[in-house]
């Protein structure tokens, strides 16, 4: 059973009601959002949205993606009839396609809603979760399919200094020029080696159906963007986020707005105070919801004792942050915790318990995952939020808490479709197996492992027999030859098993964006995803993609 499927087994009425509300088709999202296109935000929400304008404009100015279209949509934040659609993610290194698809889903949705109502005003907003710890795996690692690697997966790695492992990604330096050059050489070497299949393989020759010069040209065009972005970025978070904005705003031509999560706290200041004042309910519901999900075998990826923590992180001067708890000192409410970087005890006075005041400290606070969807709806009037399967645990927690607090919750959308394509890495792996067609390797792997067990059993039996013969002074030359021959065949079989396992890893890999750029060219990827939404619409159906570099020479 998949992780997502487990959510549908939960019998709790609040949880099952929320899960069943998630649309299964693109047309369902359009239908559910159409009634809200002319709903006006109240002055409270409008005032909070306006607070975002300077942060969004600053991001795009620094990223060099502040086009006239982007600027126009920033101005729409001041219009009460504007609807906001949101996706968010941490700034991963050369992120996988799923992050891009969140934005493509919302931009395609935006255009369909605008077609239905030409007077509708809609913003597609992407929140960069730049206050994550830098040692999060995908912030510093990217993966490409490589049959020559022992695991079938090549890693691009941003090395983290030990003393900075618990720093926030926004406080860590951008990649050096030397690092960029090392990645460039590593990727070009991967392309050249992947496009060659040695004669000892099943089919023997070069991958003739791929245009090597086209593949390298695709990569060079993409890498020029990478180098340009690196020049503008000041941190690793900026480098990763600016590249995403470069692709979305310039290459895809989208009007998507970007904002750093570390800068949205002033816009949701009232919401933070609201959750602090209602912390008992927030904590109690969170604890019970987590318990229910865990009892159904769902790993929510939420910390075990998160219900004891305040809904915000408290940032430290060292570059890290502290998980804090609400404590009382007389009539005063305090945030207290230990910085996860320097281990210093941090305290923040929130004022009188009857009148919480965070105006002087809000810049040092950032939202935890669970309260984020709640306050996006409450304080910013967000109509729709696209989540990923990895975030469904905290989103479900948030939905139940929102219900118990009588706070409106945004429509949650999920696009779980898997991209199916035979790029250079996937095709090379299949060629080594002696096929050009994508196959399910699990049955083959099962058969080979069974054959290996048979060999092991035969060798063991012969070894026992050999020992008996030695004890009885019987010549063993013949049996030694048999054992040797079997071991030779078993070695070949084990190499075959390793190859099939690598191929399985490759076929199941969610590759980083470089794999898409190399195989499709930057300009062609967006249309593949958008076409699936418009022509198929099933948000769980596989997407069969066509490679632009897959041409016969």
441-487 per-position pLDDT tens digit: 899 999 999 999 999 999 999 999 999 999 999 999 999 999 999 99
44: left (phi over 0), alpha (psi -120 to 50) or beta: alpha
Cα separation, 167 vs 157, in Å, equals 17
Kindly list the distances between the CA atom of residue 170 and the CA atoms of 133, 139, 259, 318, 346, in Å, as whole numbers in the listed order.
9, 11, 13, 12, 20
Res 359 pLDDT > 70: yes
Res 279 pLDDT > 80: yes
Q: How confident is the model at residue 178 (pLDDT cuts 50, 70, 90)?
A: very high
309-335 per-position pLDDT tens digit: 999 999 999 999 999 999 988 889 999
Cα separation, 475 vs 224, in Å, equals 70
Q: What is the pLDDT of residue 197?
A: 65
Res 238 pLDDT > 50: yes
Q: What is the pLDDT of residue 553?
A: 35
Q: Which residues pair with 82 in a beta bridge?
A: 121
239-248 per-position pLDDT tens digit: 999 999 999 9
Q: What is the pLDDT of residue 354?
A: 84
11-27 per-position pLDDT tens digit: 999 999 999 999 999 99
Considering only CA atoms, which of 255, 247, 245, 250 is closest in space to residue 84?
Answer: 255
Locate 238 and state its tokens: 């900026």
122-170 per-position pLDDT tens digit: 999 999 999 999 998 899 999 999 999 999 999 999 999 999 999 999 9
185-198 per-position pLDDT tens digit: 999 999 999 988 65
Cα separation, 396 vs 393, in Å, equals 5
Query: Number of helices (H) and strands (E), helices first, in the chain?
Result: 19, 15
Mean pLDDT of the chain: 94
Considering only CA atoms, which of 9, 10, 14 is closest in space to residue 286?
Answer: 14
The answer to whether residues 503 and 495 touch, using CB atoms and an 8 Å cutoff, is no
- Domains of the chain, by residue range, sit at 312-367, 440-507
Q: Which residues pair with 87 in a beta bridge?
A: 126, 386
Q: How confident is the model at residue 353 (pLDDT cuts 50, 70, 90)?
A: confident
Cα separation, 472 vs 28, in Å, equals 79
Using a 10 angstrom Cβ sphere, with 0-12 exposed, 13-18 middle and 19 or more buried, the burial of residue 389 is middle
């Amino acid at each position: 059973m998949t992780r997502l499927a487990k959510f549908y087994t939960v019998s709790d009425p609040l949880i099952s009601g929320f899960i069943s509300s998630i649309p299964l088709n693109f047309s369902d999202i359009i239908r559910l959002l159409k009634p809200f296109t002319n709903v006006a935000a109240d002055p409270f929400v409008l005032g909070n949205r306006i607070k975002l304008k300077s942060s969004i404009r600053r991001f795009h100015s620094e990223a060099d993606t502040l086009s006239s279209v982007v600027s126009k949509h920033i101005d729409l934040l001041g219009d009460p009839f504007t609807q906001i659609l949101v996706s968010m993610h941490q700034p991963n290194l050369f992120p996988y396609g799923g992050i891009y698809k969140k934005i493509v889903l919302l931009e395609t949705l935006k255009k369909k809603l605008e077609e239905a109502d030409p007077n509708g005003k809609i913003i597609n907003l992407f929140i960069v979760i730049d206050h994550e710890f830098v040692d999060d795996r995908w912030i510093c690692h990217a993966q490409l399919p490589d049959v020559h690697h022992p695991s079938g997966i090549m890693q691009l790695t941003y090395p983290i200094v030990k003393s900075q492992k618990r720093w926030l990604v926004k406080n860590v330096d951008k990649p050096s020029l030397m690092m960029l050059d090392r990645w460039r050489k590593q990727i070009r070497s991967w392309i050249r080696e992947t496009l060659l299949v040695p004669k000892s393989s099943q089919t023997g020759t070069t991958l003739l159906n791929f245009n090597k010069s086209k593949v390298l040209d695709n990569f060079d065009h993409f890498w020029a963007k990478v180098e340009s972005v690196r020049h503008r970025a000041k941190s690793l978070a900026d480098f990763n986020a600016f590249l995403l904005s470069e692709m979305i705003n310039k290459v895809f031509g989208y009007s998507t707005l970007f904002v750093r999560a570390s800068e949205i706290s002033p816009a949701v200041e009232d919401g933070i105070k609201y959750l602090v004042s209602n912390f008992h309910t927030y904590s109690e519901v969170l604890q019970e919801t987590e318990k229910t999900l865990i009892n159904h075998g769902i790993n929510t990826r939420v910390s075990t004792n998160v219900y004891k923590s305040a809904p915000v992180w408290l940032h430290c001067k060292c570059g890290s942050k502290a998980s804090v708890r609400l404590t009382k000192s007389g009539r005063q409410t305090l945030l207290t915790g230990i910085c996860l970087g320097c281990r210093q005890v941090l305290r923040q006075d929130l004022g009188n318990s009857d009148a919480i005041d965070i105006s002087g400290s809000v810049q040092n606070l950032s939202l935890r995952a669970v309260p984020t969807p709640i306050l996006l709806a409450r304080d910013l009037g967000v109509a729709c939020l696209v989540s990923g399967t990895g975030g469904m645990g905290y989103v479900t927690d948030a939905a139940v808490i929102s219900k118990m607090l009588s706070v409106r919750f945004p429509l949650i959308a999920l696009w779980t479709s898997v991209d199916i394509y035979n790029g250079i890495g996937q095709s090379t792996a299949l060629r080594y197996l002696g096929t050009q067609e994508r196959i399910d390797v699990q049955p083959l792997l099962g058969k080979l492992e069974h054959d290996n067990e048979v060999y092991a059993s035969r060798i063991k039996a012969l070894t026992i027999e050999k020992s008996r013969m030695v004890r009885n002074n019987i010549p063993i030359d013949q049996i030694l030859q048999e054992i040797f021959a079997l071991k030779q065949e078993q070695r070949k079989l084990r190499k075959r098993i390793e190859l099939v396992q690598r191929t399985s890893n490759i076929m199941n890999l969610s590759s980083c964006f470089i794999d898409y750029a190399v195989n499709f060219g930057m300009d062609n990827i967006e249309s593949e995803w958008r076409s699936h939404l418009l022509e198929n619409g099933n948000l769980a159906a596989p997407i069969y993609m066509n490679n632009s570099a897959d041409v016969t020479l």
